[in-house]
């Protein structure tokens, strides 16, 4: 079905791989459309609880394929970028948690794509760069929204103004990566984390993702109101009722 990506689903986990290794998984228009379709499939699949994003070959993703935008008019370039932005919006709006498993190069929009995910695991060989300034462009794919929220405003400015490359350990140190694992363990570690989340109660995880995504724009009373609404919903789920019963049974035995 897809040419520029692959999509696998098993045991409640979806694994979506960028599959243009010959250009280090750079985005082109066809790949953008396939990403939109695949994310929509995962969103509507009740059996898939968590999505893992990965790359094939030597890179996670190096952003937009420059050869596809060279020579485009302003209008054409803007439309292409808008499709990419729709991918980001759909990814963030999807209730299911998304894990980016990053190896090799995550440059430009590729790095920002990872930042749009809920969790990031990186292999020891991962390299990150906000390389836009090196080719006379500004950060796109939501980078100026996501990066300050991961690492703070001042550090985000430094990374974007300089466009320098950092390694996985530095990315972990500044809070942009949740954990770093050996290169050969990346897929296993990402799937293991995804499996643990998938085995958890779906509704509270979905609601927490939704509220946390809004939290930076809410005052405390508004956030507390959303928490109360979410708690009321969760209190009626079978997961909660079963957990309470198990807790009470354990307490009786102790």
Burial state string for 190-222 with b = 16 or more CB within 10 A and e = fewer than 16: bbebbeebbeeebbbbbbbbbeeeeeeeeeeee
pLDDT of residue 146: 95
Asked whether 15 and 42 are in contact (CB, 8 A), the reply is: no
- Counting residues of the chain whose pLDDT is more than 90, the rounded percentage is 80
pLDDT of residue 113: 95
Lowest mean pLDDT among 24-28, 163-167, 235-239: 235-239
- Average pLDDT estimate for 4-11: 95
pLDDT of residue 22: 96
Average pLDDT, the chain: 93
pLDDT of residue 79: 86
User: Residue 254: which pLDDT band, with cuts at 50, 70 and 90?
Assistant: low
Tokens of 250: 């354990």
Is pLDDT of 179 > 90? yes
Select from 54, 59, 94 the least CA-distant residue to 186: 54
pTM of the model: 0.91
pLDDT of residue 161: 97
pLDDT of residue 66: 83
- Average pLDDT estimate for 193-208: 94
Asked whether 56 and 2 are in contact (CB, 8 A), the reply is: no
Per 3-state DSSP, the chain is made up of helix, strand and coil in percentages (nearest 5) of 55, 20, 25
pLDDT of residue 95: 92
pLDDT per residue over 54-80, tens digit each?
999 999 999 988 888 777 788 887 888
The dotted CATH code for 5-198 is: 3.90.226.10
Asked whether 111 and 129 are in contact (CB, 8 A), the reply is: yes
pLDDT of residue 241: 86
| CATH T-level topology, domain 202-253 | Lyase 2-enoyl-coa Hydratase; Chain  A, domain 2 (1.10.12)
Domain ranges across the chain? 5-198, 202-253
Q: Cα 88–195–106 angle (5° rounding)? A: 40
Pairwise CA distance, residues 106 & 61, whole Å: 5
């Amino acid at each position: 079905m897809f040419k520029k990506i692959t999509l696998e689903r098993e045991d409640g986990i979806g694994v979506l791989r960028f599959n243009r290794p010959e250009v280090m998984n750079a985005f082109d228009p066809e790949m953008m459309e396939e990403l939109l379709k695949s994310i929509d499939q995962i969103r509507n699949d009740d059996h898939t609880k968590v999505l893992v994003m990965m790359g094939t070959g030597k890179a996670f993703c190096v952003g937009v394929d420059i050869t596809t935008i060279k020579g485009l008019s302003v209008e054409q370039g803007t439309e292409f970028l808008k499709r990419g932005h729709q991918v980001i919006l759909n990814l963030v709006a999807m209730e299911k948690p998304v894990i980016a498993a990053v190896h090799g190069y995550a440059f430009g929009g590729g790095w920002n794509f990872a930042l749009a995910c809920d969790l990031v695991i990186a292999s020891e060989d991962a390299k990150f760069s906000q390389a836009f300034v090196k080719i006379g462009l500004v950060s796109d794919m939501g980078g100026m929204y996501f990066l300050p929220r991961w690492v703070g405003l001042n550090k985000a400015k430094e990374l974007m103004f300089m466009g320098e490359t950092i390694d996985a350990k530095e990315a972990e140190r500044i809070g942009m990566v949740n954990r770093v694992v050996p290169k050969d363990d990346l897929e296993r570690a990402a799937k293991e984390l995804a499996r643990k989340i998938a085995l958890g109660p779906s509704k509270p995880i979905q609601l927490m993702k939704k509220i946390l995504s809004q939290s930076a724009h809410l005052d405390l009373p508004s956030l507390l109101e959303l928490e109360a609404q979410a708690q009321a919903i969760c209190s009626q789920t079978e997961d909660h009722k079963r957990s309470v019963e198990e807790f009470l049974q354990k307490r009786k035995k102790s």
